[in-house]
Chains A and B, each alone.
Chain A
Amino acid sequence: MEADNIDGALEKMEERFGSQLREQVQAHGIQLDGKIRDYSQVLLNGVNLRNLKQTELKDGDVLHIFPPGAGG
């Protein structure tokens, strides 16, 4: 996928996978709609979104999006 930054990558994901992606991701607790819900875990090359200094992407970057669990 080609995108300049994380927001762009999320938009592209929605464009490519449309409502099916949205439903699947939302079923796993992540709200796209251009925004990531506070408690979603998004890692760019293993760095949490909250710890990133910049969100620009380069070739080969890996973006992980997954729902956080806090249960025990």
Chain B
Amino acid sequence: MATIGKRMAVDKETIRCIDECKEMYLAPDGKEHAVIGLKAVNSVARSRGIVPSQIEIAALEQGIIPRRYLRNMGTIGWEGQAKLLRSTVAVVGAGGLGGTIVELLARHGIGRIIVIDGDRFTEDNLNRQLLSTEENLSEYKAITAAKRVREINSSVSVTSYTERLTGENARELINGAQVVVDGLDNMPSRFAVEEACRDSGIPFVHGTIAGFSGQLMTIFPQDMGLCSIYGEPHNVPEWGMEVVMGNPSATPTLIAAWQVQEVIKIITGIGKPLRNRLLMIDTIEGIAEEIELSN
């Protein structure tokens, strides 16, 4: 049996319980896989006093696929899934971009998600912010995000911060994250997060939207980053064209989904992140253009 990353601290009895709960699953391609269902994971976790994510990692190490991640296996694989379950990702902003990002990270099985947003839902969020509903208007976005994560995936641990991110607190709030994702709505905060990520040695997945267009780029600490797109921070206005064009319903999810894909690539090592390459998508003209950035 291949060891996936570092050994987990689960004992032999826990492994035996996991093995006892496994079932066989016949995949559409005719291959048979050992799987473990959600109820069994939670039951073993409770009986052994271990959090569900550790049970899932231990199962993967035994070649047993948690059933909820079956459709991840063909691309992410056992090892990739275990890496995701061990990872921590911070999402800064839980609105249009951030709401979808949190949702998809939870479904992917990121082990811990940190959600930072000082805002509460308002009625004008309802057109596009996936986590907003008529019922939760005026609630903190970060708290709602945490509730949603727990509904989707009880293996994911989530930490919510309902304070506004600033240059002063950014480093503290993203502490422990392997990747930070941009769900912000203004440029000064983006530059503040980028600086904190650079100082902390954490990759930052940048994304913005305006109207029917959006753009994204992954920034590693040694990369040129935001100033290669926008110029120096002191020259960059706080807002962009979204103040004129607004944010229609589909654009945030389009960009957020690709940002999540970047996160998955960074953590699993699969594929090539969009580093020093700006991906610009214009859905009205039907254009997606990659711009190689230089200094």
Contacts and interface: CB of A to CB of B under 8 A. Distances in A.
A46 interface: yes
A72 B239 contact: no
B185 A39 contact: no
B2 interface: no
Interface string B54-98: 000000000000000000000000000000000000000101111
A47 B207 CA distance: 19
Nearest to A29: B241
A38 interface: yes
A67 B240 CA distance: 8
Interface string A33-72: 0000011010101111111000000000000101111111
Interface of B is mostly: mixed
B240 A71 contact: yes
**Most chain-B CB neighbours within 10 Å: which of A46, A66, A67, A70?**
A70
B215 to A, nearest CB: 7
A41 B186 CA distance: 16
Nearest to A67: B241
A61 B38 CA distance: 56
A39 B214 contact: no
Contact of B210 (A43, A46, A48, A67): A67
B245 A29 contact: yes
Nearest to B96: A72
Interface residues of A, number: 21
B280 A66 contact: yes
Interface stretch (B103-111, B132-140, B151-159, B225-233): B225-233
Given A29-B244, A47-B293, A64-B291, A71 B231 contact: no
A68 B95 contact: no
A16 interface: no
Interface of B: 93, 95-98, 182-187, 190, 207-211, 213-215, 227-232, 235-242, 244-245, 247, 252, 280, 289, 291-295
Given A39-B239, A69-B211, 16 more contacts: A43-B229, A66-B213, A67-B213, A68-B208, A68-B210, A68-B241, A69-B209, A70-B190, A70-B238, A70-B239, A71-B96, A71-B242, A72-B96, A72-B183, A72-B207, A72-B208
6 contacts: A68-B230, A69-B242, A70-B187, A71-B247, A72-B93, A72-B95
